[in-house]
C-alpha cells in the first residue's frame, strides 16, 4: 500500500521514523513518501522535503515566511496528487497539516492524524475542523482522550507515548563513547535556529557559576557547525555534541532544556531539569493572550503540577537560571521529589503500550477502509 507522511519538526521526524519502521514490518510492500527528516528517510521512506526548510515558530516569524509556507503547501498538494496514497498520515505540525487535511478530505483521501495538535492549549475551535476532515485521531498524552470525549464528543484513540519505548530501547543498548571528567550539565536549546540563538546564550552564562561541572551543548542535526561556533566561542570550557542528545542525557546529572518534547525526553532519562523559554517579545505577548494552559512544559502539563521549574520570557535570564540550577543540584529533597514524579509520569505514558506499533495498526486499518 502507499502511505504519505508529513512531519514538520525534529520531534515529528523521530516519531515518524518509528511509525515508518512499524508500517514496513506489517506491510512488506509499503511505499512510503514523506516530509520529515533524516530519521524518516533512514527508516525507509522517500524524503520529499526536510523539516529544516519548514520550521517557522512564532506569530511574527510565520508572517515573515508566509509566501514560502504557501508555496510549500501548493507543492505538497501537487505531490500528494501525483503519488495517490491509500492514506495520508499527518504528524503534529498543525498550522500546515490541518490545511493539508482539509484539502485531502475534499479529494477523497483517507486521513490519520498522529499526535494531536495542542488544541487543549489554544485554538480549541480547530476541533470542529478536525472532526470534519480527519478519519482517525491518534493521541499520545493520557488526558487527551477524555478531553476530546468530554468537551467535543469526539472519539479518539490513545496509543501511549512513543518516547517511552524509544528511550527504553536506547538505554538498554547504550555504551558511552565519551567519558567526561566532571559531572555533566546538558544544554538542550532546541532545533530551530531562531530559538537556539535566543536561548543558548542565556544557558551558557550559567556555566561560569558551576566550575565543578562540565557543560555540554546538544547541537541539532539540522543546524550547521558555523552557527554554533559563533555562539560558543566566548565559552571555551563548554563542550558540544552533534546529533547525540540521547547519549548526552544518558550521562547528564542535570539539564537546562527548551520547552517542548525535549522536556519529556529529559524526564524519561531521569535527569532533573530547568525549563527555559524565550522568544520574540511580540510573539510572546500574542501567545500569552491566547494560550490557556498553566504550564509550558509537557512534564508539568501531564502531571498537572509544577514538577520542574519553568523560566519564561523575562524570567529566563542568567541570574534565575543559575539559581534554579543550583537548587536542583544541591537540594536532596528536591531531587528526590523530582525522581518520584518522573516515575509516576513514566507509568502514565506507558499505559497505551507500544505506541508506534498501535499507531501503525490504526493507520493500516484506515488505509484498508476498516477504521474502528
Q: What is the dihedral of CA 225, 230, 235, 236, to 10 degrees?
A: 60
149, 340 in Cβ contact below 8 A? no
116, 139 in Cβ contact below 8 A? yes
Q: What is the CATH number of domain 2-160+353-368?
A: 3.40.50.2000
pTM above 0.85, yes or no: no
What residue spans define the domains of the chain? Answer: 2-160+353-368, 168-350
17, 31 in Cβ contact below 8 A? no
- The C-alpha atoms of residue 259 and residue 188 are separated, in whole angstroms, by 9
Collapsing DSSP to helix, strand or coil, 107 comes out as coil
CA distances from 309 to 51, 66, 300 (A): 30, 34, 9
pLDDT in tens, the chain (372 residues): 999 999 998 889 999 999 999 999 999 999 999 999 999 999 999 999 999 877 554 444 555 556 777 888 999 999 999 999 999 999 999 989 999 999 999 999 999 999 999 888 778 889 999 999 999 999 999 899 999 999 999 999 999 999 999 999 999 989 998 889 999 999 999 988 888 999 999 999 999 999 999 999 999 887 888 899 999 999 999 999 998 999 999 999 999 999 888 999 999 999 999 999 886 565 555 455 445 678 889 999 999 999 999 999 889 999 999 999 999 999 999 999 999 999 999 999 988 679 999 999 999 999 998 654
CATH class given for the domain over 168-350:
alpha beta
- Examine domains 2-160+353-368 and 168-350 and report if their fold is the same: yes
CA distances from 110 to 2, 100, 137, 194 (A): 12, 12, 12, 35
- The C-alpha atoms of residue 291 and residue 143 are separated, in whole angstroms, by 18
Q: Could you tell me the three cell numbers for 264? A: 519529556
Residue with cell 502539563: 301
Amino acid at each position: 500500500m502507499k502511505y504519505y507522511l508529513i512531519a514538520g519538526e525534529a520531534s515529528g521526524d523521530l516519531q515518524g521514523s518509528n511509525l515508518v519502521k512499524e508500517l514496513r514490518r506489517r506491510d512488506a510492500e509499503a511505499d512510503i513518501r514523506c516530509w520529515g527528516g533524516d530519521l524518516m528517510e533512514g527508516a525507509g521512506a522517500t524524503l520529499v522535503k526536510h523539516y529544516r526548510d519548514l520550521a517557522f515558530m512564532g506569530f511574527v516569524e510565520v508572517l515573515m515566511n508566509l509566501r514560502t509556507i504557501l508555496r510549500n503547501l501548493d507543492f505538497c498538494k501537487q505531490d500528494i496528487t501525483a503519488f495517490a496514497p491509500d492514506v495520508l498520515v499527518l504528524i503534529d505540525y498543525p498550522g500546515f497539516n490541518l490545511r493539508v487535511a482539509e484539502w485531502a478530505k475534499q479529494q477523497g483521501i483517507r486521513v490519520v492524524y498522529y499526535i494531536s495538535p495542542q488544541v487543549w492549549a489554544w485554538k480549541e475551535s480547530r476541533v470542529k475542523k478536525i472532526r470534519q476532515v480527519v478519519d482517525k485521531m491518534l493521541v499520545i498524552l493520557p488526558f487527551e482522550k477524555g478531553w476530546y470525549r468530554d468537551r467535543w464528543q469526539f472519539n479518539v484513540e490513545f496509543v501511549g507515548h512513543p518516547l517511552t519505548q524509544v528511550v527504553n530501547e536506547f538505554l538498554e543498548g547504550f555504551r558511552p563513547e565519551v567519558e567526561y571528567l566532571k559531572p555533566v550539565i546538558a544544554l538542550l536549546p532546541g532545533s530551530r535556529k531562531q530559538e537556539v540563538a535566543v536561548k543558548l546564550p542565556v544557558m551558557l552564562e550559567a556555566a561560569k557559576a558551576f566550575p565543578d561541572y562540565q557543560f555540554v551543548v546538544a547541537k541539532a542535526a539540522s543546524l550547521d557547525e558555523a552557527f554554533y561556533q559563533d555562539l560558543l566561542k566566548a565559552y571555551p570550557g563548554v563542550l558540544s555534541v552533534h546529533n547525540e542528545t540521547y547519549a548526552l542525557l544518558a550521562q547528564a546529572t542535570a539539564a537546562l532544556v527548551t520547552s517542548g518534547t525535549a522536556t519529556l525526553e529529559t524526564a524519561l532519562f531521569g535527569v532533573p531539569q530547568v525549563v527555559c523559554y524565550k522568544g520574540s517579545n511580540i510573539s510572546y505577548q500574542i501567545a500569552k493572550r491566547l494560550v490557556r494552559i498553566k504550564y509550558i512544559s509537557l512534564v508539568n502539563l501531564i502531571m498537572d503540577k509544577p514538577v520542574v521549574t519553568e523560566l519564561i520570557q523575562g524570567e529566563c535570564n542568567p541570574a534565575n537560571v543559575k539559581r534554579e540550577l543550583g537548587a536542583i543540584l544541591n537540594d536532596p529533597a528536591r531531587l528526590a521529589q523530582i525522581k518520584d514524579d518522573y516515575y509516576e509520569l513514566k507509568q502514565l505514558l506507558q499505559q497505551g503500550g507500544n505506541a508506534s506499533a498501535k499507531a501503525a495498526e490504526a493507520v493500516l486499518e484506515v488505509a484498508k477502509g476498516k477504521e474502528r
